[in-house]
Amino acid sequence: TMPLKSAFTTSFGTEVDKDALLLAVHAQLRGPGGDLIDTVGWRECVAMEDPLYSSEYLTGAVEVTKRFLLPLLFAAGDLLTSELVGPLLAPIVGHRMAKAAVEMAVLDAELRARGVSFAEHLGAVRDRVPCGVSVGIQDSIPQLLDTVGGYLAQGYLRIKLNIRPGWDIAPGRAVRGGAAPGLRGRQALVAGVPGGRLGPARNVTRPGGTWQGKAGPAESSTLATATRTLPLTGLALARA
């Protein structure tokens, strides 16, 4: 369990720490010089502890990974590569977060053996990208403005506000008004809640502009393109 730097409140409740599921892939691969080297690939499963935001959750991810996903990989033997993980796991319906964790851990092992970064593997042309931040529900409007102002000062280009019934129009209006100079040229998004005034994946027009409702989590994409064989020597699951 990892404690959060500050409490994070959404319509689902308040989180003060995070349970993480880490997957480690141990393998022997040939490095750039052709010698076999022991390597370990790591990936965190993005499933949350409880199935409140999506259908997947940590304990379920552990079970499906141990019982179904890993045996399929071991059955492939020395022919396994990261690009084969997706097809090998295709017979298992759903569980995209668990599948993505396995696939990315295998890919990470390959890239580490080759001395190639994930960005280089994907053809990135820069070492930094603009990013945004999700702001939890605050106790008051002044506290919200202080929090948003702090994130803007750190250089975040997108501010996403979490809302719930009764905490929606007023905080959005306050941020767009009170923090307008800092938000100029940046995005201000509002995350809707199922069953609330603003449903997911809807655009909601409010004074001062259009706020975007938050869609559900995107499905995992198969990013692996490496073609090296990957003889697995072991896999490990750990709750951190």
**Residue with more model confidence, 229 or 89:** 89
Residue count of the chain, please give it: 240
pLDDT at 13: 86
158-162 and 132-135 as β-strands: parallel, antiparallel, unpaired?
parallel
- Asked whether the predicted pLDDT for residue 71 surpasses 90, the reply is yes
Residues 111-137 have pLDDT tens digits of 999 999 999 999 999 888 888 899 999
Q: How is 157-174 classified by DSSP, letter by letter?
A: SEEEEE-BTTBSHHHHHH
pLDDT at 225: 28
Question: Position 32: which residue type?
Answer: P
Structure tokens at 45: 């499963």
Gyration radius of the chain over CA positions:
21
- Are 192 and 198 contacting, i.e. CB atoms less than 8 angstroms apart? yes
pLDDT at 178: 62
Residues 15-70 have pLDDT tens digits of 999 888 999 999 888 878 778 888 999 999 999 999 988 999 999 999 999 999 99
pLDDT at 77: 84
pLDDT at 209: 36
Q: How far apart are CA 114 and CA 235, in angstroms?
A: 20
Split at pLDDT 50, 70, 90, the class of 99 is very high
Q: For 154-176, what is the mean pLDDT?
A: 88
pLDDT at 53: 84
CB atoms within 10 A of CB 74: 11
Q: How far apart are CA 204 and CA 212, in angstroms?
A: 6
Q: How far apart are CA 53 and CA 22, in angstroms?
A: 20
Share of the chain above pLDDT 70, in %: 74
Q: How far apart are CA 211 and CA 120, in angstroms?
A: 35
- Asked whether the predicted pLDDT for residue 226 surpasses 90, the reply is no
pLDDT at 186: 55
Q: How far apart are CA 232 and CA 81, in angstroms?
A: 10
Structure tokens at 95: 């569980």
